[in-house]
Chains A and B, each alone.
Chain A
Amino acid sequence: MSATAMEQLYQQVILDHAKDPYGHGLVPPHEHGERVGESHQVNTTCGDELTLRVEVAQDATGQDVLRSVSWEGQGCSISRASVSVLSELVTDIPVADAERLGETFRELMRSRGVPLDEAAQDALGDATAFTGVGKFPARIKCALLGWAALRDAIVKAGVHEGVAQHDTEHEEDA
């Protein structure tokens, strides 16, 4: 692997997020009866564990919004950075948008390091820093752990709208 491939994998954005992650530390649920969902995920390769909690509330228009996203657990720099970026991206956005972002991120992980189109990159923001991860099949699972937890936590919160729930577990195992 060239130094550039290593640099592509460990982008500064990733190293920064890994060092000082966003959303770290589970936020206790608010009192207003919001729907709370929690997911526990294990990366079977290394035994790393992640617990991610979401709180869903309706905004003024009646739309379900992720009011808070927080997590706890230990992991490698890729998984920590990924869940950190994710937490920052999806906090305070509609659940449906968050699920769509998750789909886009999964697509990025399947792209073998090839950047997605501009619209997708705009949507993913900091998460485009993970493009290089797609070249390292052994690390894709690390990057997807947080997103898998997010999807599961949303289901656990009892939210049924959003993009169709199709099973992508097998791709995540790749």
Chain B
Amino acid sequence: MTQTVDPPGATSGLTDAELAAVRGDFPLLGRTLRDGRPLVYLDSGATSQKPDVVLDAERDFYTQRNAAVHRGAHQLAEEATDAFEGAREQVARFVGVASDEIVWTSNATAAINLVAYAMSNATAGRGGAAARRFVLGPGDEIVVTEAEHHANLVPWQELAARTGATLRWLGLHDDGRIRTDDLATVVGDRTRVLAFGHASNVTGAIAPVAELVARAREVGALTVLDACQSVPHLRVDLTALGVDFAAFSGHKMLGPTGVGALYGRRELLEALPPVMTGGSMVEVVTMESTTFAPPPQKFEAGTQMVAQAVGMGVAASYLEELGMDAVAAHEHVLAQALLDAVASVPHVRVLGPTEAVDRLATVAFVVDGVHAHDVGQVLDDAGVAVRVGHHCAQPLHRRFGITATARASASVYTTVDEIEVFREALSGVRAFFGLTADGGDGR
């Protein structure tokens, strides 16, 4: 089953008191900007802020448990290993998988590249017969969508170039949603990999995972889910979604930078050849050859980002304690508020679904006659932090004939009042550049 969003009203989200308590957990949210302006952080899609428990967990690891993991027989090493593996369990439980199906990576980008390079290695003959299912060559096809973040596009372009496979993609509807009307022709017998984002970091649209996974299974293609934007905001059960691989980053889900995760179904991780090689990922090494440790260690060569992993585990538990249904319900309210805000300002157009259905509280928009950079500057002057540019999704922007948008993206700690500050600042943008609220675009 692939239910990803709670129907609106299924749970009540967060009460004002709960939300105030959440905000109190994030020290950075209390800081002020130039001229003492309060910060309105609407750039959580790029990276989230971190609660004290995450920061404390990293510090606590260094002050109490720091030692090399999986090595050494001393007490500290045991405690460090427990913390590291305990974090893996926390993250695994959070996304509904077994802990040996979670590989630590430095971020989602590294996780996706791991899969792509492992397939290259399989194509080069590494991994033997078991890895033959990952071999690609001319005639094989890799399918992505036009909505992808570059992190889930460029690695596949490169894999296609290295192996002779062909890259194809599913297009987008005018509201930014993935077109599935030609799914049966784009994803076919030649398709070996179907890689797609669970939720777009630009349009906020949630992908029709069930439909895409069903088609991939029909034709025997592997599915790779970029879950970067979904895991922080929705209840995500990767086992239930039925994907083969998934990637997400710690820093977008209230955790530290420098750590992310790759999920792979156990039998696939077992068959997949390693990419990085060296210490910590081996069984027996002779001068001639090496046998590898079982997954996930097989993919974790060298000293790992232990403190960050511990922080990511705590971030997952923090979200779990809030309850992802409550988080999603709260963010549903924020999505509606953001959409109402941009709809209330003349000459602002949304790039993505304009209704708060199957979408995140991530809203990209253009202001007619004003470049996104200039929009961002005026918002910044009001203390409102948004992202401007192509958000690492140039093909998506090109699909809509524009190069850059401004994007407001919320997280669990965002309030409706903050969105009102955003709305007010946005309503002054055109006037700042000498354009009238109701006139033409002035250019």
Contact = CB atoms under 8 A, between A and B. Distances in A.
Contacts of B443: 19
B40 to A, nearest CB: 14
Contacts of B320: none
A159 interface: no
A15 B403 contact: no
Q: How large is the interface on B (under 10, 10 to 19, 20 to 34, 35 or more residues)?
A: 20 to 34
B433 A77 contact: yes
A47 B400 CA distance: 14
B160 interface: no
Contacts of A119: none
Interface in A30-83: 45-49, 74-78
Interface stretch (A1-9, A102-110, A146-154, A160-168): A1-9
Nearest to B404: A46
A74 B35 contact: no
B34 A1 contact: yes
A64 to B, nearest CB: 34
B388 interface: yes
B434 A49 contact: no
B372 A74 contact: no
B397 interface: yes
Contacts of A1: 33-35, 380-381
A6 B381 contact: yes
B389 interface: yes
Contacts of B432: 10
Interface in B157-192: none
Contacts of B390: 46-47
B66 interface: no
A156 interface: no
B397 A47 contact: yes
Nearest to A45: B389
B304 interface: no
Contacts of B372: 46, 76
A142 interface: yes
Contact of B403 (A2, A19, A49, A142): A49
Contact of A75 (B371, B378, B397): B371
B34 A46 contact: no
Contacts of A15: 433-434
Contact of A46 (B35, B381, B388): B388
B394 interface: yes
B375 to A, nearest CB: 9
A139 interface: yes
Interface in B220-245: none
Interface string A17-37: 001000000000000000000
Contacts of B371: 46, 48, 74-77
Nearest to B371: A76
A3 B378 CA distance: 10
B60 interface: no
B442 to A, nearest CB: 7
B377 interface: yes
Interface in B352-399: 370-374, 377-378, 380-381, 388-390, 394, 397
B377 A9 contact: yes
A5 B34 contact: yes
Given A45-B389, A46-B388, A2 B377 contact: no
Given A2-B35, A75-B371, A78-B373, A19 B394 contact: no
A48 B372 CA distance: 11
B433 A46 contact: no
A2 B34 contact: yes
Nearest to B389: A46
A74 B34 contact: no
A76 B373 contact: yes
Contacts of A46: 371-373, 388-390, 403-404
Contact of A47 (B33, B35, B403): B403
Given A1-B381, A15-B433, A47 B34 contact: no
Contacts of B373: 45-46, 76-78, 139, 142
Contacts of B404: 46-48
A91 to B, nearest CB: 23
A161 to B, nearest CB: 36
Contacts of B380: 1
Contacts of B377: 6, 9-10, 136, 139
Contacts of A76: 371-374
Given A19-B443, A45-B389, A47-B389, A74 B374 contact: no
A20 to B, nearest CB: 9
A163 B334 CA distance: 55
A101 to B, nearest CB: 24
Q: Which A-B residue pairs are the 9 nearest by beta carbons?
A: A76-B373, A76-B371, A46-B389, A46-B404, A1-B34, A47-B403, A47-B390, A6-B381, A77-B374
7 contacts: A1-B35, A1-B381, A15-B434, A46-B390, A74-B403, A77-B371, A77-B433
Given A6-B377, A47-B390, 8 more contacts: A1-B34, A1-B381, A9-B377, A10-B432, A45-B389, A76-B371, A76-B372, A76-B374
Interface of A: 1-3, 5-6, 9-10, 15, 19, 45-49, 74-78, 136, 139, 142
Interface of B: 33-35, 370-374, 377-378, 380-381, 388-390, 394, 397, 403-404, 432-434, 442-443
